[in-house]
Amino acid sequence: MGRCEGRVAIVTGASRGIGVAIAERLAAEGASVAVAARSLEAHPRLPGTLRETVERIEKQGGRALAIQADLLDAASRTGLVQETEAKLGPIDILVNNAAAAFYKPFEQISDKRFRVAFEVNMRAPFELAQLVLPGMRQRRRGWILNISSATSQHPVGPPYAAWATQSGDLLYASTKAALDRFTTGLAAELYTENIAVNSLSPVAAVMTPGATAHAVVPEGTFVEPVEVMAEAALVLCTCDPKQLTGRIAYSGPLLEELGLPIPH
């Protein structure tokens, strides 16, 4: 029997990249997975659709449901949870993976980009957690995983490395730092209720279609296989909430710490 047998999961941002890998890994362990993204159709520049994610999971013998959900819209966020519960059952696992990533120098960050970044990267995970929490509390079990980024760490300096001075990641990094603090605070609040809340980031660049299209990974950068993130996510979505919660975890180091093999 798989580690997620009989459980229901939501994975946002599951058209491509890390979201697809996590959804497939949870499904392979027996979870029924609702995969969500802004559109069911093909992106004008990026490969991958929700329908293709469902097809891949079903071909491997898993169960998945594609749900169109615009995380900028509160009604759409509510609808995602309600449809998942109606068609798959009570939600055991929430993976907040979807993100809005803008790489712009500080003075070029518009009000709209600021609002979109915080709405998708912070407000949506916050509200989705509120929506799934009553069911988790009722069953006294649950796993909430927020996908963060190593950019949330404070720049080291002075002097500062080229990435810190030139990448334009200030807005994106700030939203992920807020997400990490939300993670640890919620984990503390829910500790007595057997609900784990963790944050997970890759230790290196993951060459997702989005990262490739936006050319945010400098040439020569060490690249981490997406399977490492998926395996670490599985651990944090099946762990004992009394032993592994409130962690700002990094993929490979987490697997090493637990004595688990690292996919290559």
Q: What pLDDT is recorded for position 43?
A: 66
- Are the CB atoms for 29 and 238 separated by under 8 Å? yes
Active site includes 172? yes
Q: What is the mean pLDDT of the chain?
A: 93
Distances (CA, A) of 47 to 42, 51, 65, 100, 205: 7, 12, 19, 17, 19
Higher pLDDT, 144 or 216: 144
Q: What pLDDT is recorded for position 41?
A: 74
Q: What pLDDT is recorded for position 119?
A: 98
User: Which backbone phi and psi does 222 adopt, to 5 degrees?
Assistant: -65, 135
What is the percent of the chain where pLDDT is above 70?
A: 93
CATH node for 8-257: 3.40.50.720
Per-residue pLDDT tens digits for 54-75: 999 999 999 999 999 999 999 9
Q: What pLDDT is recorded for position 211?
A: 47
Domain ranges of the chain: 8-257
Residue 221 has pLDDT above 80, yes or no: no
What is the percent of the chain where pLDDT is above 90?
A: 87
Give the mean model confidence (pLDDT) for residues 131-143: 97
Q: What pLDDT is recorded for position 40?
A: 83
Residue 214 has pLDDT above 50, yes or no: no
Q: What is the number of other CB atoms lying within 10 angstroms of the CB of residue 261? A: 8
Q: Choosing from 103, 160, 172, 250, which is the catalytic residue? A: 172
